[in-house]
Every structure is written in C-alpha cells, then in structure tokens.
Chain A
Amino acid sequence: MTGNLKLATAFVLLGGMLTSCVLPQPRAELGNLSELRSDEVVIVGRVDLVPKLAEGEQKLEALGTGDAVNKVYLLTNEHYRVFEQEPRMSDYEGYIPAPLGKNFFVRSSAKPFYILGGQLRLTARGDDMSSAYFPGGMKVSVKPGDKAVYIGAIQYYRDEFFEVSRIVIVDDYDRANAEFKRTYGAKYSLRKALVTPVK
C-alpha cells in the first residue's frame, strides 16, 4: 500500500460530520505588518492546481463551507509527520487557507514548520461530502529576525480523479514581492526561502 493510498483512504466522513464541526483557527491573514508581534512572521506563498479547478468540480453548498471555495487548506505543524489516517480536526490547527492561484499572506509564529498535506473540499451538499488530499512533506525555513518569508508556489499536477502525478515548487518571487510591497509598503523586505522536501 502506498502512502498516497493510505492518505486517500482516510477520508470517510460520517454523514454530516464535517459540516457540523468547526475547524480550528487558521493562520490569519495579515492586514498590516505593524500588527506583527516580535515573535511572528508573515508567510507568503501560493498553491496551484494543474490543471486548474474546472467549473463544477467543486460543489460546496452546505452551510459553513463557503470559506473553502477555491481553496486548499495546507495542514501545518512544527513537528513533521506523515498522515496515515484521515486528518483529525486537531490536525487543522494553524492551517493555511490558500486561495488557488493567488498569493496568501498569513501571520505565523516565527519558527520553522512543515507542510504536512493539503485538503480541498470537493463536495458538501446534503450528505454528499468528499475531499481531495494532497501530499505534504515540505519544510518551511523561518530564521530568527525574519519578518516576511516567501515559500514559493506549490504546484500540484493532478488528473480528474485528483491523483497527483507531480509536485513542482515554482519560484515566482518577483510577482509575490511586488504584491507584498503593494500590500505592506516598500520599506519591508520579503526573504525568499522556498519550501524544501523533507528528507
């Protein structure tokens, strides 16, 4: 049994469970860099699906699922591990709600952490619930003194069954940095530290 298969098996959701449960707090978007505490950093990055999500591939109609539209939730933790079961609610603590194809800017503790996987809600209507899951195994390197770190664009190549055939980390720093400067001002610098595979 492959790891992917294990991950994929995970996802039995007893009817209604997910919609009726509230996810833990995500890493919050940051409006202004001056809001950052001394022990915090802003993480900048992007998640792409290749090909992009087609119209109608995601059907989220259940109450409370609107936030998941066109987003992959990146599950993160300061300790590395591999999911062998479906992620539990507690695994979502500090997740990054990454809007597909757009840069995210989230505040984070100024410590290195790992991206353990990703979840895309596919259907939530009535009792019909399903998700696709994406591999993790990436390290985000945050150094002392960092205020803003660019981790790259994580591109998941997938088919219509959401089988992932390739993961590519793209350096799209210039575009992200331009957006960063527009958002937070030119006086702040965004350090490039692309995610690295966990060995």
Chain B
Amino acid sequence: MNNRLFVAACLIFSGLLSGCASEGPPRDINDPTNSLVFGYIDMDEAPRGVNTATFLQVAPPSDTPYWETDVNKGLFFQAHLPPGSYQLTSLSGSNTIYDFPRQGNETSVRIAKPGIYFVGSYKYKAVKTGLFEAPKFSIERVKTPTEADLLKQILGNEAIGKSAWGGKIRARLAQLKR
C-alpha cells in the first residue's frame, strides 16, 4: 500500500458532531481482554487543531461502534478495546471533523488477542482541490515519534501507569530495545 493515506476532510458544524461519535461501552481498565491501540498525528499544517480521535469498531458489528479518545500533543490511545477490528475513523476539534475513509485506511488494525497495537505516526498534509470541491487532506506516515517514544509518553499517564498496562508497556518497551 502506498505510504500516503489519502483521506477526505470535511468541515462540519458542531451541531453535526454529536451524531458522529459516541462513547464505547464502559470497560474496566484492567480487563484482561483489553487491548491498547495508539498512534500519533502531527497536525501542525492543519487549518485547525484536533482534540479527539475516534476509532470505529468494524468487527464484530456493534450498535456502539465508536471509541473516542483524547488527542494530546498528537498522541492518541485507547486502552479499553476488546478483541475485534478497528480503524481510526475521524479526528475532530472545534467545529471540525477530519474524516477518514473506510477503505484504504492504513490505521486499520485487527486484534485477535489482547495486546499493544501501534497504528503508526502520521503527518497532516493539505491537498489542493478545486474551488468548489470539498477540502481534502492526506496524512503521510512518518518515522518519528517511534512506538517506543509514544509508549513512554503513555506510561507517563498516571491512570495508565498504575493500571495493569504499566507492566505490559514496560515489557513491550524492553522488547523494543532488544
């Protein structure tokens, strides 16, 4: 697959925002079936910033398929995902939603067994479009921050560090060092 994930963006008024995303079902942070899915987006070149990332659960089908999480300095992670297939479906901020396509989405991840899954680091790039076309953007995969860089940041989150994830993240970091 090309390393540039082209996606289309649309700006939607905030009234539409509420219908597009909802919380996933509540789960205990220490549930042994949880997976941690995380990534990074550099939005420096975007016209507007984002504060929320939403994962879509595509399988198994669910009536509550959206799993939201904060975006903090580009880092986003969800530590409550049950086994299934997911993809980043949108990044959103004030009055803005950057929609990702269902197909050709590089952030797609299939979780067969609980674990730690890195969907990649990306950088926002604007795409030139015609005057009357919907605005579009691409996100390019970038090498940094690395999986280890991001895991260290996640570990710094007090709730995560004190949960069952603390040990698992440290183990993964040790594995990455080898």
A, B from the same assembly: yes
Cross-interface CB contact of B7 among A9, A56, A126, A162, cutoff 8 Å: A9
The verdict on A8 contacting chain B, using a C-beta distance below 8 Å, is: yes
Q: Quick check: B134 and A2 within 8 Å, CB to CB?
A: no
Q: Do A127 and B16 touch across chains, with their CB atoms under 8 A apart?
A: yes
Task: Check: A22 CB closer than 8 A to any chain B CB.
Answer: no
Q: In the complex, what's the smallest C-beta–C-beta distance from B13 to chain A, in angstroms?
A: 8
In the complex, are the beta carbons of A9 and B20 less than 8 A apart? no
Given the known inter-chain contacts A2-B1, A8-B104, A14-B12, please indicate yes or no for A160 contacting B134, CB distance below 8 A. no
Residues of B within 8 A of A116 (CB): none
B-facing mask of A12-54, CB < 8 A → 1, else 0? 1111100000000000000000000000000000000000001
User: A161 CA to B56 CA in the complex, in Å?
Assistant: 10
Q: Is the CB of A12 within 8 A of B9?
A: yes
Is the pair B61, A55 in contact by a Cβ cutoff of 8 Å? yes
Within 8 A of A (CB), among B12-51: 12, 16, 19-20
Q: Do B102 and A11 touch (CB < 8 A)? A: yes
Residues of A within 8 Å of B4, CB to CB, are 1
B58 touches A12 (CB 8 A): no
A111 vs chain B, min Cβ distance (A): 31
Q: Is the CB of B134 within 8 A of A12?
A: yes
A132 lies within 8 A of chain B by Cβ: yes
Q: What 1/0 flags go to B80-117 for Cβ under 8 Å of A?
A: 00000101000000000001011111001010000000
Contacts A126-B20, A132-B103; A9 near B10 (Cβ below 8 A): no
**Alpha-carbon separation in the docked complex, A168 to B1 (Å):** 22
User: Is the beta-carbon distance between A127 and B20 smaller than 8 angstroms?
Assistant: yes
A105 within 8 Å of B by Cβ? no
Binary interface encoding of chain A residues 153-182 relative to chain B, with 1 for a CB under 8 A from any of its CBs, else 0: 000000011110000000000000000000
Please state if B12 and A9 are interface contacts (CB–CB under 8 Å). no
**Chain A interface (Cβ within 8 Å of chain B)?**
1-2, 4-16, 54-57, 85-86, 122, 125-128, 130-133, 160-163
Which 6 A-B pairs have CB atoms at the shortest separation, nearest pair first?
Answer: A56-B61, A12-B8, A126-B19, A8-B104, A8-B103, A127-B19
